[in-house]
Amino acid sequence: MVNVIGLGYIGLPTALMLASHGVDVIGTDYNAGLVDTLNAGKTTFKEKGLDELFSSALKAGIKFTTEYQETDTYIISVPTPYDAFSKKIDAKYVVSAVKSVLDVCRNGAVLVIESTVSPGTIDKFVRPVIKQMGKEIHLIHAPERIIPGNMVYELLHNNRTIGADEAAYGEKIKTLYSSFCQGNIVVTDIRTAEMTKVVENTFRAVNIAFANELAKICRYADMDVYEIVRICNMHPRVNILQPGPGVGGHCISVDPWFLVGDYPGLTKVIGESMKINDSMPDFVLHRIEQIMEKEGIADISRVGLYGLTYKENVDDCRESPTLQLLSSQHRHLAPNLKTYDPYVVNDMVEGQYHDFDQFLHDVDMVVIMVGHDEIKNNFAKLQGKIVLDTRHIFTQNHVYHI
Ligand code: SAJ
């Protein structure tokens, strides 16, 4: 039996995927409310294909509980926040999950850590706990790689990395993941696995920052960044990403800081890239101000932000550019702009709407922060509004861009 610890964005799909491929799985989470929801037959977040996967895992007999199980295989997928000031990882959830597992596991159990950790975290924080508790266990680091919005497909098809102290146990976990994973699975050592994960997300952060910097240059040069990117990308070795209102999510906006926090003197490109991405919400605010002036809109309460999530068609708002923009406004003692997001059903911020038409009725200027399908399919409803589209989903002449 496999005990999956932490049933969030990564742990839940992983547990469901294993169960629906014939593995005996019990999912554990210390959040009793979350466990109750799952036991009531409901998933805890929206994700393409997740409900179908949930049904098939339930049929296969998956169970959810707040208790850690006595078994020989564990997968830990708990959050790894970072300290906003020092930019260093806070491994407290990983460490406490490892301790709880060590309390109950069999001697010789295999412990897989899927949570993203900064290079060296396992040596620094996890091994001392294992040593102190005196149990013989085999450690694996198998960082997740799935992208919110396409998690189920990517769980099945992405290649994976497994870091192990002993190759034999690496192979054992490779066999376990092969029950569902159709990609290649590479077995390496733990420090290498830690580093690859953070480097992958850093690569993307730096490339997004490049696109964002181009957007700023083109704004000041009064040129169309999207046309420039489109033409440049016709070169066989150029592939520029899309500029946008900033970078959110719990991965790309966070992981590269681990390297900056640990190697401050060596991370010039990475550090500057992170600052550029973090500056984008303020750049959007500045753009709003420019457009309001040009269009003669004096009343800030007539401006609304469309989208609160960190990207399109997901309900995840962690570190989202819209929340970053609102917090910048807050710091400057300005009242919140109006907001609306079809995926965010609970009240999250002041001035939030839950009805698209009502939101549109109450604003003269719409700032598209997220390109949800809802707005893509409803351009007609924006008729008569001033539109700032930070995601470049609309190319009509009268639409403003960043
Ligand atoms: N973004 C842009 N321009 C782009 C692409 C993205 O502004 O051209 C923005 C998005 O709007 C979003 C942010 O960047 O705010 C990040 O979105 P994303 O779709 O690039 O990535 P995530 O954070 O959802 O998922 C990433 C993935 N990592 C890589 O692509 C290298 C995923 O595979 C990881 O599993 C995930 O991080 C993670 O959990 O680490």
Predicted confidence (pLDDT) per residue in 255-265, tens digit: 999 999 889 99
Separation of CA 201 and ligand 1 centre (Å)? 8
Query: Which ligand 1 atom is at minimum distance from the Cα of 250?
Result: 23
Do residues 193 and 168 lie in contact, with contact meaning Cβ atoms separated by under 8 Å?
Answer: no
The single-letter code of the amino acid at 293 is: E
Identify the residue whose C-alpha is closest to ligand 1 atom 32: 147
Predicted local distance difference test score (pLDDT) of residue 349: 96
Separation of CA 189 and ligand 1 centre (Å)? 26
User: What token pair was written down for 165?
Assistant: 């102290």
Question: Is the confidence at residue 28, as pLDDT, over 80?
Answer: yes
Predicted local distance difference test score (pLDDT) of residue 171: 98
- List of domains in the chain: 2-188 (3.40.50.720), 199-401 (3.40.50.720)
Verify whether residue 197 is a known catalytic residue.
yes
pTM for the predicted model, two decimal places: 0.94
Catalytic residue among 63, 197, 311, 338: 197
Average pLDDT of the residues in 330-346: 94
Question: Is the confidence at residue 87, as pLDDT, over 80?
Answer: no
d(CA 266, CA 260): 8
Query: Which ligand 1 atom is at minimum distance from the Cα of 9?
Result: 39
Separation of CA 197 and ligand 1 centre (Å)? 13
What is the distance in angstroms between the CA of the first residue and the CA of the last residue of the chain?
Answer: 52
Which ranges of 150-267 does DSSP label H, i.e. alpha helix? 151-157, 167-177, 190-221, 225-232, 255-262
Verify whether residue 181 is a known catalytic residue.
no
User: What token pair was written down for 301?
Assistant: 């309460």
pLDDT bin (cut points 50, 70, 90) of residue 45 is very high
Residues 6+ apart with CB under 8 A from 225: 211, 214, 215, 217, 218, 219, 243, 401, 402
Separation of CA 312 and ligand 1 centre (Å)? 11
d(CA 374, CA 291): 24
Identify the residue whose C-alpha is closest to ligand 1 atom 31: 201
Predicted local distance difference test score (pLDDT) of residue 215: 98
Average pLDDT of the residues in 388-402: 95
Do residues 76 and 114 lie in contact, with contact meaning Cβ atoms separated by under 8 Å?
Answer: yes
Predicted local distance difference test score (pLDDT) of residue 399: 97
Supply the mean pLDDT for the chain.
96
Average pLDDT of the residues in 146-172: 97
Query: Burial level of 140, CB count in 10 A (0-12/13-18/19+)?
Result: buried
Separation of CA 108 and ligand 1 centre (Å)? 37
Catalytic residue among 105, 218, 251, 317: 251
Query: Which ligand 1 atom is at minimum distance from the Cα of 146?
Result: 35
Average pLDDT of the residues in 140-168: 97
Predicted local distance difference test score (pLDDT) of residue 250: 87
State if residue 247 touches ligand 1 by the CB under 6 angstroms criterion.
Answer: yes
Average pLDDT of the residues in 205-210: 98
In terms of Cα–Cα distance, which of 206, 203, 160, 207 is closest to 183? Answer: 160
State if residue 248 touches ligand 1 by the CB under 6 angstroms criterion.
Answer: yes
Average pLDDT of the residues in 3-32: 98
